[in-house]
């Protein structure tokens, strides 16, 4: 995805790293005389000859390079990397018997880009390109956790609360105890599911330009959701959230540069509980043309109704299947439990072609081992069990691994959503998810702070930096305080500015003849200035982060302008966004249709559920 104004792939930071077999990789690491480069970077595509050796230097290059040398291993000279072949078989201790994991990851990223273009049908896409994700696990670590999770499913098992799911697993060879509902999934079954070709996940939007392609090569951002409380933008009062707050949060998100997917940010407490699920979906559709990620935990009946509403907007069930404009988050129960109604809902979404995120949330020290590796293993067991079930029920269903592993604060006994461990585990989950061939959905920007201020920013930034540079496919967390309980529109705007800063860090430094600029240095000479040079104007916006919210003016100018704080400026941006019309509004007839469907749902609650 190229930057605006450059066209697809034309921005200098969007050039693809050449892929291929091992011999090509070694050749690309040498200069035209066969010498190793003096500066270690990432080979870039560019014109041949002396001026064409473009290298990007990123803050994490040395770490990744060291990890490659220590753990990734090298194929035999001239032997192709096994990125395109079948999955390497491994023993139960995680040792890879054949194939090359690094090659497979690279191959998947390349296949993801190619498959994404076809799946999108030519649509433009959003997202941040992370060419060289920053790992927290070595490839040996990934293999070891993977092997432990698969073995754990066979030895310990999981509780499966859905009768349909237990029957599917039993027919596939799992050991099922109907009394306890514990199912032990054989190693061979899990591996068989993982060997199947990955299902490409595209989160389509009503506005095609806002489609999010989860191609394992781009990072996408999403707000946090379902906050029961709101900090009023005008009064600062903390109060129950309303449908008006939900509508305004969607409208503000429309104006943010790095916000790609919308999760209904708060609950409409002014709407009857029996129809709140559907009303919040309708309000979201009315106020944003983005893809709607709905963390509903819906049961089968609720999923069927949400799918019907989505189909009405998309133009029919088949159009929704081709271009799903909604997705669902279905949570597990830690430790090692798949809730029956929730999984039945996942089956209904999958049957309609709606992407489903199996969201795992073991809490280190409470519902998971206090060690991060242990809780990540529990999360992997829960997800793999959910993945096996979803694939058995609907083989082609798009599935995402959602995960929020963050510790229990032992002093306060609260979930520490703003802990740095949240970012660490988010990157670990992303690495494992890509090893499984699925996209990741992780937390970021979370905070336990009750109000927008220093604590909220201090807690949120390390998580955000970790998961963005770690290459998470979809990051949720923008805009909520108090561990996702309280909506703050100002925080939503500030978080977008933070993403812009991290994005600049992720871009790294492009090194070529044009950026070294020796000719310009010679022209300006000793003691000169570069302000008036064409080279400065040509590269300024690419090379420098230009803030939209941060104030870099002198103290005198700041005082003259009213001493506005960061929160004040964010509040102004909120008001500007709310003054703009909603893009791609729903037609009155379509809104009327959705209202009728909601009325039917309300009537069904008063009588009997649909069969």
The string of pLDDT tens digits covering residues 268-286 is 999 999 999 999 999 999 9
- Structure letter (DSSP) for residue 609: -
Question: Does residue 531 lie in a domain region?
Answer: no
Question: Does residue 65 lie in a domain region?
Answer: no
CATH number of the domain residue 255 falls in: 3.20.20.480
Per DSSP, the three-state class of 518 is helix
pTM of the model: 0.81
**40 and 150 fall within a common domain:** no
**176 and 224 fall within a common domain:** yes
**27 and 176 fall within a common domain:** no
Q: What range defines the domain where residue 28 resides? A: 1-57
When pLDDT is averaged across residues 213-232 and rounded to a whole number, the result is 96
Question: Does residue 74 lie in a domain region?
Answer: no
What number of helices (H) and strands (E) belong to the chain? 21, 25
**26 and 119 fall within a common domain:** no
Full strand arrangement of the beta sheet holding 182-184: 175-177, 182-184, 158-160, 337-338
**165 and 115 fall within a common domain:** yes
Whether the ω angle into residue 16 lies within 30 degrees of 0, i.e. cis, is no
Two structure tokens written together for 577: 């966004």
Question: Does residue 217 lie in a domain region?
Answer: yes
The 10s digit of each residue's pLDDT in 166-212 is 999 999 999 999 999 999 999 999 999 999 999 999 999 999 999 99
Question: Does residue 195 lie in a domain region?
Answer: yes
Instruction: Find out whether 228 and 485 touch, Cβ atoms under 8 Å.
Output: yes
Question: Does residue 514 lie in a domain region?
Answer: no
Helix 273-287 × helix 300-314 angle, to 10°? 30
When pLDDT is averaged across residues 469-489 and rounded to a whole number, the result is 96
**240 and 343 fall within a common domain:** yes
| Rounded Cα distance, 298 and 117, in Å | 31
**43 and 87 fall within a common domain:** no
Two structure tokens written together for 167: 């029957």
Least confident of 30-39, 177-186, 374-383: 30-39
Alpha-helix residue ranges (DSSP H) falling in 181-299: 187-195, 243-253, 273-287
pLDDT confidence of residue 275? 96
pLDDT category of residue 123 using cuts at 50, 70 and 90: low
H or E stretch at 521: helix 518-524
The CA-atom distances, in angstroms, between 407 and each of 358, 369, 425, 449, 549 are 20, 10, 10, 16, 32
pLDDT of 380 above 50: yes
pLDDT confidence of residue 1? 37
**352 and 438 fall within a common domain:** yes
The four Cα atoms 569, 570, 573, 574 give a dihedral, to 10 degrees, of -140
Nearest to 470 by CA among 222, 130, 142, 221: 130
Rounded percentage of the chain residues whose pLDDT exceeds 90: 74
**181 and 45 fall within a common domain:** no
Q: Give the count of domains, the chain.
A: 2
pLDDT of 16 above 50: no
Beta-strand pair 408-409/414-415: antiparallel
Least confident of 7-11, 125-129, 408-412, 481-485: 7-11
| Rounded Cα distance, 290 and 117, in Å | 19
**45 and 106 fall within a common domain:** no
pLDDT confidence of residue 115? 55
Nearest to 90 by CA among 134, 43, 136, 147: 147
pLDDT of 162 above 50: yes
Least confident of 8-12, 296-300, 419-423, 509-513: 8-12
Which of 57, 72, 93 is a domain's end point? 57
Our measurement of the distance from residue 592's CA atom to the centroid of its chain's CA atoms, rounded to an integer in Å, reads: 33
Question: Does residue 66 lie in a domain region?
Answer: no
Least confident of 18-22, 63-67, 494-498, 505-509: 18-22
The per-residue b/e assignment along 504-515, b for 16 or more CB within 10 angstroms, e otherwise, is eebbbebbbbee
pLDDT category of residue 438 using cuts at 50, 70 and 90: very high
**47 and 89 fall within a common domain:** no
Extract long-range pairs of 256-259: CB within 8 Å, 24+ residues apart.
Answer: 256/492, 256/493, 256/496, 257/496, 257/499, 257/500, 258/128, 258/221, 258/496, 258/499, 258/500, 258/503, 259/221, 259/222, 259/223, 259/290, 259/478, 259/492, 259/496
Question: Does residue 182 lie in a domain region?
Answer: yes
pLDDT category of residue 34 using cuts at 50, 70 and 90: very low
């Amino acid at each position: 995805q190229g930057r605006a104004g450059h066209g697809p792939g034309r921005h200098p930071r969007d050039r693809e790293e050449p892929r291929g077999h091992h011999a090509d990789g070694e050749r690309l690491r040498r200069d035209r005389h066969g010498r190793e480069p003096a500066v270690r970077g990432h080979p870039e595509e560019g014109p041949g000859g002396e001026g064409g050796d473009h290298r990007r230097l990123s803050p994490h290059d040395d770490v990744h390079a060291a990890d490659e040398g220590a753990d990734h291993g090298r194929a035999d000279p001239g032997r192709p990397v096994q990125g395109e072949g079948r999955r390497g078989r491994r023993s139960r201790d995680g040792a890879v018997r054949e194939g090359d994991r690094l090659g497979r990851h690279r191959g998947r990223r390349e296949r993801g880009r190619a498959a994404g273009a076809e799946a999108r049908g030519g649509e433009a896409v959003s997202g941040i390109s992370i060419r060289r994700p920053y790992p927290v696990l070595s490839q040996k670590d990934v293999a070891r956790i993977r092997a432990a999770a698969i073995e754990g499913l066979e030895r310990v098992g999981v509780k499966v609360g859905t009768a349909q799911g237990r029957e599917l697993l039993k027919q596939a060879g799992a050991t099922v105890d109907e009394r306890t509902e514990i199912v032990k999934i054989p190693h061979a079954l899990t591996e068989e599911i993982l060997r199947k070709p990955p299902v490409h996940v595209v989160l389509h939007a009503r506005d095609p330009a806002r489609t999010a392609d989860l191609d394992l090569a781009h990072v996408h951002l999403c707000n946090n959701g379902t906050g029961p409380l709101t900090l009023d933008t005008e009064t600062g009062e903390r109060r129950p959230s309303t449908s008006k707050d939900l509508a305004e949060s969607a409208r503000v998100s429309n104006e943010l540069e790095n916000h790609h997917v919308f999760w209904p940010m708060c609950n409409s407490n002014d709407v009857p509980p029996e129809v709140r699920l559907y009303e919040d979906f309708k309000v979201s559709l009315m106020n944003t043309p983005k893809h709607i990620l709905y963390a509903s935990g819906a049961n089968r009946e609720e999923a069927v109704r949400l799918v019907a509403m989505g189909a009405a907007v998309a133009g029919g069930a088949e159009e929704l299947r081709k271009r799903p404009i909604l997705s669902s988050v279905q949570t597990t129960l830690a430790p090692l439990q798949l809730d029956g109604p929730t999984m039945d809902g996942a089956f209904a979404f999958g049957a309609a072609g709606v992407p489903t995120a199996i969201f795992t949330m073991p809490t280190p020290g409470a519902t998971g081992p206090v060690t991060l590796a242990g809780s990540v293993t529990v999360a992997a067991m829960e997800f793999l069990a959910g993945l096996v079930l979803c694939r058995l029920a609907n083989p082609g269903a798009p599935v995402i691994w959602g995960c929020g592993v963050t510790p229990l604060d032992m002093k306060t006994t609260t979930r520490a959503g703003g802990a740095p461990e949240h970012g660490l585990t988010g990157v670990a989950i992303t690495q494992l998810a890509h090893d499984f061939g699925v996209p990741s959905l992780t937390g970021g920007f979370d905070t336990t702070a009750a109000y927008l201020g220093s604590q909220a920013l201090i807690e949120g930034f390390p998580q955000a930096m970790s998961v963005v540079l770690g290459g998470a496919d979809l990051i949720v967390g923008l805009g909520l305080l108090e561990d996702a309980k309280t909506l703050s529109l100002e925080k939503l705007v500030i978080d977008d500015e933070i993403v812009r800063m991290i994005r600049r860090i992720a871009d790294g430094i492009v090194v070529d003849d044009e950026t070294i600029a020796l000719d310009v240095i010679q022209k300006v000479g000793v003691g000169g200035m570069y302000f008036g040079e064409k080279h400065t104007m040509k590269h300024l916006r690419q090379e420098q982060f230009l803030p939209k919210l941060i104030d870099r003016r002198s103290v005198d100018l700041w005082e003259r302008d009213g001493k506005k704080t960061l929160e004040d400026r964010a509040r102004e941006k909120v008001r500007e966004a709310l003054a703009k019309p909603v893009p791609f509004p729903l037609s009155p007839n379509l809104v009327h249709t959705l209202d009728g469907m909601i009325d039917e749902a309300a009537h069904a609650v008063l009588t009997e559920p649909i069969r």
